[in-house]
Chain A
Amino acid sequence: MAAPSNNPPLLEVKNLRVEFPTRRGTLLAVDDVSFDIAPGEVLGVVGESGAGKSLTGNAIIGLLEPPGRIAGGEVRLEGRRIDDLPYEEMRKVRGAKIGAIFQDPLTSLNPLYSVGRQLVETIQTHLPLSAGQARTRALDLLKEVGIPAAESRIDHYPHQFSGGMRQRVVIALALCADPRLIVADEPTTALDVSIQAQIIALLKRLCREHKTAVMLVTHDMGVIAETADRVAVMYAGRIVEIGPVRDVVKHAKHPYTKGLMGSIPSLGIRHDRLTQIDGAMPRLTEIPPGCAFNPRCTERGRRCLGERPDLMAAGATRAACWLHERGGVGTAVTKELADA
């Protein structure tokens, strides 16, 4: 469970920036994001919708939807740079080295082809197997992800499966070529609560068995706490805190992370009452100068209004907050907020 720290990282993301040109100017949706994922490690990426977490995932698999584009930084997989690969080269990486799981299993599968066909075509794209061998592998995968009566179900069409079963098929599809990394974008959000735990448990077990690393993108802190080794918290396009999951959950250093943890009832931590963060995340067009979180922050000071903090060591984690730098936040600016 502990993060293997000495191995060279499987995935390195350095100073990644994702832009969206729009009518009213260019929006910076992912702003200078850096992190590593070690082989076999599960990194949770958490944040509100619009924080840039899904875009980060899409940028890594090279499937940003136009007009979105990578505007800076680099992404390396096993030391090889992949963010600037030509389409055809990147295609060979996708599915083979990096698998992906999307949010909605109901729409991820082509309704007109049987699941067997979709598995076989993916396997044969990446592995030199005959049709018969590919079908055998497809069957094994279906069994592995827990589809009952896989032999008969393999020729069924997606609409004949329930949502949970379809997400299992999607996971099997992601595992077709035994990738080193899986980018799972909100894999349980569209599912019933009772199914969510099963899918998370399955994902966790498979990745342990296959030694596959996972970048788990979600807004559900509960899922992260249960699954991830490390967690990165994103806010308004930036990582505001990153560290081992226990430390982030129990001893959050960034005021935003603290607020996030305080708002979750299910983490087994004693709260006299659930807290909530006042206000909402700013739109990308209206990010304030200084720390993007400052309008909602209960501990903000002068410095937060003018200077933007980078990630800095803060106990066992790294947080982007002036509280953890010698200079501090400066004089407090709003008494009312701090008292609230």
Chain B
Amino acid sequence: MLAFILRRLLQSIAVLLTVGLVAFALFRYVGDPINAMVGQDTSMEERETLREKLGLNDPAPIQFLVFIGNAARGKFGLSYRTSEPVGRMILERVPATLELSICAALFALLVGVPMGVYTGLYPRHWLSQLFQAVSLIGISLPTFLIGILLILIFAVWLRLLPSFGRGETVDLGWWTTNFLTWKGIQALILPSITLGLFQLTLLMRLVRSEMLEVMRTDYIKFARARGLTNRAINFGHALKNTLVPVITVAGLQLGAIIAFAIVTETVFAWPGVGQLFIQSVQFADIPVMAAYLLLIGLLFVLINLTVDLLYFAVDPRLRGQGMARPAGH
């Protein structure tokens, strides 16, 4: 088990280094840090001195190490667009994105999994067929379109919910939160549904097909032959066996949610990291793009590691690795 985790840790570091390399290449070679710092009228000599001072003439591997070292301390230089420190710009916006993503993920999980279980257990019931049809539409509607339709219905026509911004937030010093005011919570509703809907349909379809798959296995048939109750079979045996793939995909989807927050934040003018990223793409603001890339890479790696650890909790076959060999006859 330790070997497995170590191997996964090494893989994660490799992924992070690759992402770091891309970010570094972006930062150093696509954007020109000097141009960003000095005015048009700076002479070539002055630029060269600055270049030397910043270490931009050092061998590439050293520059890379310096870049990674700075990144680890949250230093990504100045934004080309606003000339603010990139690290602070991002940090200010992290709470907005994380709160939105977590709400969306919970919505997808708490609604999608039960729907999937139901449609998997009773595939021929009319409600299941309805869920299936809705999910197909949900998977075909782009996120931004869902957001626009929700705004049109609930904000423009019915005037029930706000259509942009975070509403009221409470500043806790190191974190700003939506959860402590009614207006903040209201502001979360539409964006969370928008962001979570696609993942919800995806999870539902996955749980459904896994459930159908598991219900066909020999051990479920044998559980029936043992006369176990339907409840024990459906929820004790079948559901638990669908968990492993569901955890994998749910983990990946959490990553996707954070990435797709870009779209939702744009639709709802949500002041999060994704909105910042879109602005940086539009203005070719390389330091922000590089920093965002690293941040997302780190998040994804952390999520994947968590998923790996969850496997151990669910599947005894992994837990046993290395220590218990099958005994002889």
Contact = CB atoms under 8 A, between A and B. Distances in A.
A92 interface: yes
Given A112-B240, A112-B316, A122 B226 contact: yes
A61 interface: yes
B114 interface: no
A110 B228 contact: no
Main secondary structure of the interface of B (DSSP, over half): helix
Contacts of B320: 157, 159-160
Contact of A110 (B219, B224, B324, B325): B219
Given A110-B237, A159-B320, A122 B228 contact: yes
Interface size class of B (residues with CB under 8 A): 20 to 34
Interface in B2-61: none
Interface in B270-329: 314-317, 320, 324-329
A162 B329 CA distance: 6
Interface string A105-137: 001111111100000011001100000000000
A120 B324 CA distance: 23
Contact of B218 (A108, A157, A165, A177): A108
Given A110-B223, A157-B317, A162 B232 contact: no
B214 to A, nearest CB: 10
Contacts of A160: 320, 324-327
Contact of A162 (B219, B228, B229, B328): B328
Interface in A198-230: 198
A156 B224 contact: no
A155 to B, nearest CB: 10
Contact of B226 (A94, A111, A113, A153): A94
A91 B227 CA distance: 5
A121 B226 CA distance: 10
B327 A173 contact: no
Nearest to B319: A157
Contacts of B325: 160
Given A110-B219, A111-B317, A95 B327 contact: no
B241 interface: yes
A332 interface: no
B158 interface: no
Given A102-B218, A108-B218, A122 B316 contact: no
B225 A94 contact: yes
Contacts of B224: 63, 91, 94
Contact of B227 (A107, A114, A126): A126
Contacts of A153: 327
B232 A121 contact: yes
B329 A108 contact: no
Given A95-B226, A122-B226, A112 B217 contact: no
Contacts of B236: 121
A159 to B, nearest CB: 5
Contacts of B324: 156, 160
Contacts of A92: 227
Contact of A125 (B232, B315, B326, B329): B232
A91 B224 CA distance: 7
Contacts of A122: 226-228
Contacts of A126: 227
Interface string B196-224: 00000000000000000000011101111
Nearest to A198: B329
Contact of A112 (B218, B226, B315, B326): B315
Contacts of A114: 316
Contact of A111 (B219, B225, B232): B219
A108 to B, nearest CB: 4
A141 to B, nearest CB: 13
A63 B240 CA distance: 22
Nearest to B324: A160
A95 B314 contact: no
29 contacts: A91-B224, A92-B227, A94-B224, A95-B225, A95-B226, A99-B225, A99-B226, A102-B221, A107-B219, A109-B222, A111-B316, A112-B314, A121-B232, A122-B227, A122-B228, A125-B227, A126-B227, A156-B324, A157-B317, A160-B324, A160-B325, A160-B326, A161-B327, A162-B326, A164-B329, A170-B222, A173-B222, A195-B329, A198-B329
Given A91-B229, A160-B324, 6 more contacts: A100-B222, A100-B226, A109-B219, A111-B241, A112-B316, A122-B226
What are the nearest 3 A-B pairs in CB distance? Answer: A95-B227, A100-B225, A107-B218
